Amino acid sequence: MYVDPFVIRSLNRSELRKRILFYLDSIYPSPAYLSEIARAIGSDPANVKGALVGLGNRYSEDSSLVNLGLVEVIEKDGFKHYALTNYGRNVVKLLKSYHPYYSLFRPEG
Amino acid sequence: MGSVERLVRILDENVSAWVEFSFMYLMLFGFKHGIFKLAGTYTKREELERLLPKTNGTILNRALDAYAELGVMEERNGVIRISHPPTAPELPWDKLDVLFSDWVPILEGMYRMADYAFLSERHPRMILDFDKGADFWDMKLSQGINTLYRDIIVRITKLRDGMTVLDLGCGSVSPVEIGRHVGPNGMYVGVDFSVGLLSIAKERVKERGMDWVELKNMDVRNVIPSRKYDVVIMSFILEYFRDQEGMLRKGLKFLNDGGKLVVVDPFREEYEHIAAWEFFEGFTPEFAAFPSRKTVRTVAEEEGLNYKEFGKNIALLY
Q: Is the pLDDT of residue A25 over 70?
A: yes
**Confidence grade of residue A94 (pLDDT, cut at 50, 70, 90):** very high
Q: Min CA distance, B196 vs chain A (Å)?
A: 5
Whole-number pLDDT of residue B92: 83
Whole-number pLDDT of residue B302: 97
Q: Do B138 and A98 touch (CB under 8 A)?
A: yes
Q: Do A104 and B109 touch (CB under 8 A)?
A: no
Q: Helix, strand or coil for residue B73? A: strand
Q: Do B203 and A2 touch (CB under 8 A)?
A: no
Q: Do A98 and B127 touch (CB under 8 A)?
A: no
- Give strand pairing partners of A80: A75
Query: Regarding the domain delimited by A5-101, which CATH topology (the fold level of the hierarchy) does it fall under?
Result: Arc Repressor Mutant, subunit A (1.10.10)
Whole-number pLDDT of residue B82: 87
Cα–Cα dist A53/A98, whole Å: 25
Is the predicted ipTM greater than 0.90, yes or no? no
Listed range (A53-62, B104-113, B151-160, B189-198) with the worst mean pLDDT: A53-62
Q: Chain B window 13-32: which residues touch A at a Cβ cutoff of 8 Å?
A: none
Helices (H), B33-143: 35-39, 45-51, 57-70, 103-119, 134-141
What chain A residue is nearest to B105 in terms of C-alpha separation?
A2
Q: Please tell me if residue B206 touches chain A, with a CB cutoff of 8 Å.
A: no
How many Cβ pairs closer than 8 A exist between chain A and B? Answer: 57
Whole-number pLDDT of residue B201: 97
Q: Please tell me if residue B196 touches chain A, with a CB cutoff of 8 Å.
A: yes
CB A44 within 8 A of CB A105: no
Q: What is the DSSP string of B165-190?
A: EEEET-TTTHHHHTGGGTTTTSEEEE
Q: Is the pLDDT of residue A87 over 90?
A: yes
Per-chain mean pLDDT for chain B: 94
Long-range contacts of B44-51 (CB under 8 A, 24+ apart): B44/B78, B44/B79, B44/B80, B45/B75, B45/B78, B45/B80, B48/B80
Specify the pTM: 0.91
Angle at CA of residue B205, ends B199 and B207, nearest 5°: 100
In order of their start, the domains of chain B are 4-135 (1.10.10), 157-273+283-317 (3.40.50.150)
Cα–Cα dist B273/B298, whole Å: 24
Backbone angles phi, psi at B110, to 5 degrees: -70, -35
Whole-number pLDDT of residue B1: 57
Q: Which residues of A touch B143 (CB under 8 A)?
A: 2
Whole-number pLDDT of residue B134: 95
Q: State the distance between the two ends of chain A, measured CA to CA, in whole angstroms.
A: 20
Cα–Cα dist A5/A27, whole Å: 25
Q: Residues 6 or more apart from B253 whose CB is under 8 A from it?
A: B225
Q: Is the pLDDT of residue B298 over 90?
A: yes
> In what helix (H) or strand (E) does residue B150 lie, and over which residues does it extend?
helix B144-156
- When pLDDT is averaged across residues A46-57 and rounded to a whole number, the result is 90
Listed range (B5-14, B46-55, B122-131, B216-225) with the worst mean pLDDT: B46-55
Whole-number pLDDT of residue A109: 64
Listed range (A73-82, B49-58, B141-150) with the worst mean pLDDT: B49-58
Listed range (A2-6, B239-243, B274-278) with the worst mean pLDDT: A2-6
Q: Min CA distance, B90 vs chain A (Å)?
A: 25
Whole-number pLDDT of residue B78: 85
**Interface test with chain A among B112, B122, B130, B135, by most A beta carbons within 10 Å:** B135
